[in-house]
Structure 1
Amino acid sequence: MRVTLAPLLSALLALTGCQVITDDGVAPDRARLIADMTAQLQRAASYRYHAEYLLAGGAKGAISQQTGPARTVFAYPGGRLVVDSGGHTSCVTAVRPARCQIRPLPSAGPAELTGYTEVTKHGLVTAPVVTGLLQAAQLQSQADVEAFDATLAGRQATCLEVSGLTDADAGGFTVCVTAEGVLASFSGVVGGVSVDQSLLGVTGAPPASAFDLPDGARVTDHRPRTPAP
């Protein structure tokens, strides 16, 4: 496990205003770095916010979240995913009329990330996917983890650069998270998809329209029907 940044990376971080996080001059251990960032991502669940991102190729994406009732929407080029207590609603907006499918919340396990991995295929990574990658890094002793600070869209963020992963959806990645737990940036190849995501801006008031289904959408509900009494 490395405890200091390689000379080249150190030079790059100096140029970009990033610096290694240290505790009394000693780099924190990998387990604590990963645990801290995982907890930081979970912290965002208690906040209302609307974050806009620049994606690979100049495309735009957004994540909007409200807390009463709890609901999050991930908007990406050609579609969106809405997650709430009633299930996952995925919509294809690249066609007219838009097509939406509602499915029950997946059970715990690999299927739990199904809807989120579909979002990743369109270049927008989500906190559940990042959490899964961090868990993989936690379990693999050969993985290297380096920490640094950055400022993105005017917000201070804690960042981790992870490399050397095996048997994971990504061999390595760099992720930054704001103090509130909002995903600030992500770069890496996840499931064969090159993701380059950077925060453009974040506000505390998501637009109400962000949670609406597209006008005229054809909706198919795959949730089990409750038998009539």
Structure 2
Amino acid sequence: MPAASTTFRTLAVSAITLLTVTGCQALNDAGRAMGRADIVNDLAARMDRALESTYSAEYQLPGGKTATISQAQDPARSAYAWPGGKFTATEEATTRCGVKGERTTCVLDTPPAPNAKPSVAVFAAAEREGLVTPPMVMGLLTTAALDPSAVITQSDTTVAGLHATCVDIRQNADAFAACVTGEGTLGSFTGRIDGEPVELALSRYHEQVDGAAFDLPPGADVVDRRPATS
């Protein structure tokens, strides 16, 4: 799997290249014109930096539920926890925990490659569960930026006490809205994933992470599928 930073840069460069040929369309923010490629490049750079940051972000979900994305460095670790389960990627293992009834089961598999970012593995696994991730939002934004029929409105706001840039996308019958903070974390998202309505909003942000964020849930049944070492 390619590094996420390379993916983000490729998306941004692709947008700039195509828009140079087709002509730049404006994003309006209180009379300020900003090209589609500019906003894609800016948000891509923010998210790219965030992949190498240490932070914990708690998100509010519908129904009063919460989800948490945590990242730490030295050693690099990442986790995505939500009401139905948890994914973690550390030097020791990639782990998927799920809840069935009153039991929690965690399956341990091979850890990410030494040079891979743990967040890449965690976000990819989370997307397979239909969860919203920063790379997913970046992909949706890039697709919209390359569509000349899309209507994109940019604005600034504050999310969980952090400055954020927001975009509202109207693309044929589809629409979504997303905010990205200056730190590069996903600030909010409202839209549809696989036809289902999805909504989340950043409620808390910390530049430190409790090591327990990467631990297995207490009392979980553990299935270890990692190859035996001699």
TM-score (norm 1): 0.74
CA RMSD of aligned residues (A): 2.9
Q: Deviations over 1:150-194 (max 9, x none)?
A: 11111110111222168xxxx332111111111111111111232
Pair 1:174 & 2:174 matched: no
1:83 is aligned to 89
Q: Relative to structure 1, is the Cα distance of residues 155 and 137 closer, same or farther in structure 2, using a 3 angstrom cutoff?
A: same
Name 1:185's counterpart in structure 2. Answer: 188
82-91 vs 43-52, which deviates more? Answer: 82-91
Give 1:154's match in structure 2, choosing from 161, 170, 194. 161
Q: Which position in structure 2 is the counterpart of 1:61? A: 67
Equivalence for 1:10: none
Question: What letter corresponds to residue 26 of structure 2 in structure 1?
Answer: V
- The alignment of Structure 1 onto Structure 2 pairs a total of residues equal to 200
Task: State whether residues 63 and 74 of structure 1, in contact with CA within 8 Å, keep that contact through their aligned partners in structure 2.
Answer: yes
Matched, 1:128 2:135: yes
The within-5 A match list for 1:6-155 is: 20=29, 25-84=31-90, 88-104=94-110, 105=112, 114-119=124-129, 121=130, 124-155=131-162
- Indicate conservation of the 8 Å contact 1:89/1:102, yes or no: yes
What is the alpha-carbon distance in structure 2 between the residues aligned to residue 39 and residue 82 of structure 1? 24
Secondary structure of 1:131's match?
helix
Deviation, structure 1 residue 202: 0.8
State the partner residue of 2:10: none
Q: Structure 2 regions of 5+ residues with no counterpart?
A: 1-23
TM-score, length-scaled by structure 2: 0.74
Which of 204, 211, 216 aligns to 1:213? It is 216
Between the aligned partners of 1:45 and 1:165, the Cα distance in structure 2 is 32
- Residue identity over aligned pairs, in percent, reads 35
Unaligned runs of 5+ in 1: 6-19
Q: CA deviation at 1:211?
A: 0.7
